[in-house]
Structure 1
């Protein structure tokens, strides 16, 4: 899987974090990145932190369990960054990376949405609810 020069989409599931993955892709020379999280502010803040010349980063809100959200984030990524090379899902148990070049046929948005939804469901099914991280609700004293 070639990261240098790649356009990457990172979709974050409940309990997951795309921050480490996004930092690794930036360090490896990604040409652009879109980060999608159900918590739009989290994605936007991470995008602002990592955005740099040569690797623009866009943060958006979205839930990859909804095909319409997947289609919207793919459209946004292609509009701002160009054709997507890698599609990643960051869940509570880790991450899965799909290299679109390794797939046999060019996928349309509907088929890509189906594929990503399956990856998201698979991640959700293998993580028992008791292992999922809870949002940090602690307040500063």
Structure 2
């Protein structure tokens, strides 16, 4: 995975931080980083701390359990930083880095990203926490393919059409 010159999006779930990821990417020579958190103060404070010439860091409020927020993050990152190379999810159970070069390209780009984000959420949020989450958020994760009972390609295509 090449980090030097990469544009990185870090989406922070409740219970995650994203700070270590952001520090590692900026230190490794990323071209730009967008940090999305449900808590706008956390995202903006971290962005202000890490922003530097050659690696602008943008902090925004966003909830990646919502496909519309993922679409907005992609648009914002590409508008301010350029095409996204890496999409990261940071949660209470760890982190997952998704290289966008790995997208299969048989669906729309956003639909493919939503499928991978759904899988990442499933990996970084402990099972007992997912069960305790509110119904709409868990249903969105299920629709994104993080729950094996939902065929990911069909669900993601439907979600992408709605976004």
> Which deviations, in whole Å up to 9, do the C-alpha atoms of 1:49-107 show, x marking residues without a partner?
10000000000000000000000011000000000000000011111000111233275
Flag structure 2 segments of 5+ consecutive residues without an equivalent. Answer: 130-163
The number of aligned residues is 128
- Given the superposition, is the C-alpha separation of residues 97 and 86 from structure 1 closer, same or farther in structure 2, using an over 3 Å criterion? same
Aligned residues of 1:33 and 1:57 also touching (Cα < 8 A)? yes
Q: Which has the higher contact order (CA 8 A, sep 6+)?
A: 1
1:69 is aligned to: 69
- Which structure carries more helix by proportion? 2
The whole-number CA distance in structure 2 between the counterparts of 1:80 and 1:23 is 19
TM-score (norm 1): 0.84
Distance in 2 between residues matched to 1:122 and 1:65, nearest whole Å: 13
Deviation at 1:109, TM superposition (A): 1.9
CA RMSD of aligned residues (A): 1.5
Q: Deviations over 1:105-138 (max 9, x none)?
A: 27522332233133213422x3544xxxxxxxxx
Is it true that 1:10 corresponds to 2:19 in the alignment? Answer: no
Q: Distance in 1 between matches of 2:13 and 2:127?
A: 12
Map of 1:1-141 to 2, 5 A cutoff?
1-105=1-105, 107-124=108-125, 126-129=126-129
Deviating 4+ runs (over 6 angstroms) = none
TM-score (norm 2): 0.74
